[in-house]
A and B are shown apart, each in its own frame.
Chain A
């Protein structure tokens, strides 16, 4: 298990925030943990929707939606730039 620091932004939020991911978590588990810092605080729940993670090269790019079943340690490097999106 390794701690992976990342920068992330929810697509409906206004500010980039840091997160610490567990390399052994799946992407889906990581998304849920990151969402706890945003959904219900600044962004409202969306019934029927869940949160996915997009990996960005920089914030101007569209990025790649990550496979929710893969492990964080296999797909996300330290200080990666991520966007949380409703899926």
Chain B
């Protein structure tokens, strides 16, 4: 029997020249990507760091699934879900709402590369990537399915992406730009390189660690298992970045990486940053979101950017600056506008507030007064005032509320295109829009649709119905029923 090293290259680098059709018919630029680099260069120079054969893949994936199913079964028998902190469950609600159908979208993107990637090894790895993402979609629908009997919000694991809920619109925008609206050359730079290499370590590895700390072995095992697949197929984009830079397409590589790193940061600080610093039980927090970003993400990204010769994104200093603020602003918004999302958030207890101040020294100066106003309302017997009585302005690029970076400096940028006014949460989001105006100009945020008369009736109830909330039980509530705020009655903060 031959060793893998003896036959791997022969099996995975099978290519041929076309006699009966033209190359652009086999690799139409609209799908395969527009490039001036000859296909022979891709074939010759594409060399992914991670190698895998079909036999190995089937064996490894089977073992992973058996492990995940065994833990799932054990947790189900032990009725673990009922014992989890209600605020911790927000992590599950957010994750399972946004991720499963996105994984299916990623399968489409991987399948596109499996057919239209211009190098045989690229197509080989993308085939496994496609199977990975199908697995991820299925497994992340299967797990929350069992939770639906406890809470209808877990039905949003399938429902979310079919709604016009503003977070779903943001998620779809994020993933569609990487997967469904991208060609086979754009996807590996945006999805595999920028998002997966850059950030999914955070979502899956950090979440796994936090989940174990909170006693949720099912979610911890699940996300750890998924991350082992990510670690493999995330490598698909790395050789392509090098090829583009080496052969005269640096501008394309730099732009796609810069665009997607920024948007990925917006998504991750919104969903992972808030969960890590506010919803994970205090005793289970191993590090702050900022610490994790610094140690696991930024260090790795900076090294990778330097090694590959990518131009450091022009917004890098703003990104570093916002690590102290952006997700704190977003947390207030997700709590105060909780009736517009499908998950349950809460505010910080006095002890958690002290933890926040230790990790973010000017947290009290920037955010204390806003939380104090809501706490006072609870203690005065008006918890209903912890909910907003308005909508928010949403960024026309990232679709998130314009609440960055922090109070006293909250930005709103404006651009006018073909007579229509667009607003943005930041300079990078405005920049992205202006690079691809024709692609993004037709998109409307929920607020745009309301102002343009597309939401009827134009009432709060009409907007919530439009966003997909069919039952009150689907809307977010205070995860602790305001208990976190009542603790301030006796605490000296």
Residues of A within 8 A of B (CB): 5, 7, 9, 11-19, 36-37, 40-44, 58-60, 79, 81
Tell me the bound Cα distance from A19 to B377 in angstroms: 23
Q: Is B435 an interface residue (CB 8 A)?
A: no
Residues of B within 8 A of A (CB): 329, 332-333, 336, 367, 369-370, 372-374, 376-377, 385, 388-393, 401-403, 406-408, 410-414, 421, 423, 447, 451
Tell me the bound Cα distance from A9 to B403 in angstroms: 10
Once the chains bind, are B370 and A16 in contact (CB under 8 Å)? Answer: no
Tell me the bound Cα distance from A18 to B367 in angstroms: 21
Tell me the bound Cα distance from A79 to B450 in angstroms: 13
Within the complex, the shortest CB–CB distance from B461 to chain A, in Å, comes to 17
Within the complex, the shortest CB–CB distance from A61 to chain B, in Å, comes to 11
Once the chains bind, are A15 and B376 in contact (CB under 8 Å)? Answer: no
Contact A14-B390, Cβ < 8 Å, known A43-B373, A44-B369, A59-B410: no
B333 proximity list for chain A (CB < 8 A) = 14-15
B393 (CB) vs chain A CBs: closest residue: A16
Tell me the bound Cα distance from A44 to B377 in angstroms: 10
A5 (CB) vs chain B CBs: closest residue: B451
Within the complex, the shortest CB–CB distance from B378 to chain A, in Å, comes to 12
Once the chains bind, are A13 and B393 in contact (CB under 8 Å)? Answer: no
Contact A43-B412, Cβ < 8 Å, known A5-B451, A17-B391: no
- Extra 13 A-B pairs, beta carbons < 8 Å, given A5-B451, A13-B410, A60-B411: A9-B410, A14-B367, A15-B403, A17-B388, A17-B391, A42-B373, A42-B374, A43-B373, A44-B369, A44-B376, A58-B414, A59-B413, A81-B414
Total A-B contacts with CB atoms under 8 angstroms apart = 89
Tell me the bound Cα distance from A54 to B142 in angstroms: 52
Within the complex, the shortest CB–CB distance from A34 to chain B, in Å, comes to 9
Contact A37-B390, Cβ < 8 Å, known A15-B329, A16-B402, A58-B413: yes
A59 proximity list for chain B (CB < 8 A) = 410-413
Tell me the bound Cα distance from A15 to B336 in angstroms: 11
Tell me the bound Cα distance from A11 to B423 in angstroms: 19
Once the chains bind, are B385 and A41 in contact (CB under 8 Å)? Answer: yes
Once the chains bind, are A14 and B406 in contact (CB under 8 Å)? Answer: yes
Within the complex, the shortest CB–CB distance from A80 to chain B, in Å, comes to 10
Tell me the bound Cα distance from A37 to B401 in angstroms: 16
> Nearest 9 CB-CB pairs, A to B?
A15-B403, A16-B393, A59-B412, A16-B402, A37-B390, A14-B407, A17-B390, A79-B421, A42-B370
Contact A16-B412, Cβ < 8 Å, known A7-B393, A7-B423, A43-B370: yes
Tell me the bound Cα distance from A60 to B413 in angstroms: 8
Tell me the bound Cα distance from A18 to B458 in angstroms: 13
Within the complex, the shortest CB–CB distance from A72 to chain B, in Å, comes to 17
A44 proximity list for chain B (CB < 8 A) = 369, 372-373, 376
A34 (CB) vs chain B CBs: closest residue: B390
Tell me the bound Cα distance from A79 to B407 in angstroms: 22
Tell me the bound Cα distance from A28 to B103 in angstroms: 51
Tell me the bound Cα distance from A16 to B409 in angstroms: 11
Once the chains bind, are B407 and A16 in contact (CB under 8 Å)? Answer: no
Tell me the bound Cα distance from A19 to B329 in angstroms: 20
Q: Which of A18, A41, A58 lies in contact with B447, CB distance below 8 A?
A: A18
Tell me the bound Cα distance from A18 to B402 in angstroms: 11
Q: Which of B388, B402, B412 lies in contact with A58, CB distance below 8 A?
A: B412
Q: Which of B336, B401, B412, B413 lies in contact with A42, CB distance below 8 A?
A: B336
Once the chains bind, are A12 and B410 in contact (CB under 8 Å)? Answer: no
Tell me the bound Cα distance from A41 to B337 in angstroms: 12
B332 proximity list for chain A (CB < 8 A) = 14-15, 42
Tell me the bound Cα distance from A42 to B336 in angstroms: 9
Once the chains bind, are B410 and A14 in contact (CB under 8 Å)? Answer: yes
Once the chains bind, are A15 and B414 in contact (CB under 8 Å)? Answer: no
Once the chains bind, are B385 and A81 in contact (CB under 8 Å)? Answer: no
Once the chains bind, are A14 and B412 in contact (CB under 8 Å)? Answer: no
B451 (CB) vs chain A CBs: closest residue: A5
Tell me the bound Cα distance from A43 to B410 in angstroms: 15
Once the chains bind, are A18 and B393 in contact (CB under 8 Å)? Answer: yes
B373 proximity list for chain A (CB < 8 A) = 40-44
B391 proximity list for chain A (CB < 8 A) = 17-18
Once the chains bind, are A18 and B390 in contact (CB under 8 Å)? Answer: yes
- 19 residue pairs of the A-B complex, CB under 8 angstroms, read A9-B410, A9-B412, A13-B370, A13-B407, A13-B410, A14-B407, A14-B410, A15-B332, A15-B402, A15-B403, A16-B402, A18-B390, A18-B392, A18-B447, A19-B390, A40-B385, A41-B389, A59-B411, A79-B421
